[in-house]
Amino acid sequence: DSGVTQTPKHLITATGQRVTLRCSPRSGDLSVYWYQQSLDQGLQFLIHYYNGEERAKGNILERFSAQQFPDLHSELNLSSLELGDSALYFCASSAGQGWQPQHFGDGTRLSIL
């Protein structure tokens, strides 16, 4: 058990919809990272927050947004969903503000129909 909690585990929705993925980092960790894993793209870095502030942004679409709240949990919002957004979305956390995630959650599997 990594200590990182992601909800929901599975999400099925339709194109054009909007969803919110939630992540609670491991206790004591201040950094939260979001990654997208699809079959043809591997693990793609989306965004990194440290103690509520955005630290780095990767290949995150404009239709996607994220935030980290004062209690350190984070949400990834995906809007105007397209078929290509179907993927496994991982949240990871670490204690420091570096860019290396230490602990990954089990992921949210998003399926767009």
Partner 1 sequence: GQQVMQIPQYQHVQEGEDFTTYCNSSTTLSNIQWYKQRPGGHPVFLIQLVKSGEVKKQKRLTFQFGEAKKNSSLHITATQTTDVGTYFCAGPGGANNLFFGTGTRLTVIP
Residues that bind partner 1 (CB under 8 A): 2, 33, 35, 42-45, 48, 55-58, 90, 92, 99-107
Residue 33 beta carbon to partner 1: minimum distance, rounded to whole angstroms:
8
Distances in Å between the Cα of 105 and the Cα atoms of 19, 23, 32, 88, 96 are: 18, 8, 11, 11, 17
Between 10 and 14, CB nearer to partner 1 = 10
Residue 73 beta carbon to partner 1: minimum distance, rounded to whole angstroms:
18
Phi and psi based region of residue 109 (left: phi greater than 0; alpha: psi -120 to 50; beta: remaining): beta
Residue 16 beta carbon to partner 1: minimum distance, rounded to whole angstroms:
29
Residue with tokens 């079959």: 39
Between 56 and 83, CB nearer to partner 1 = 56
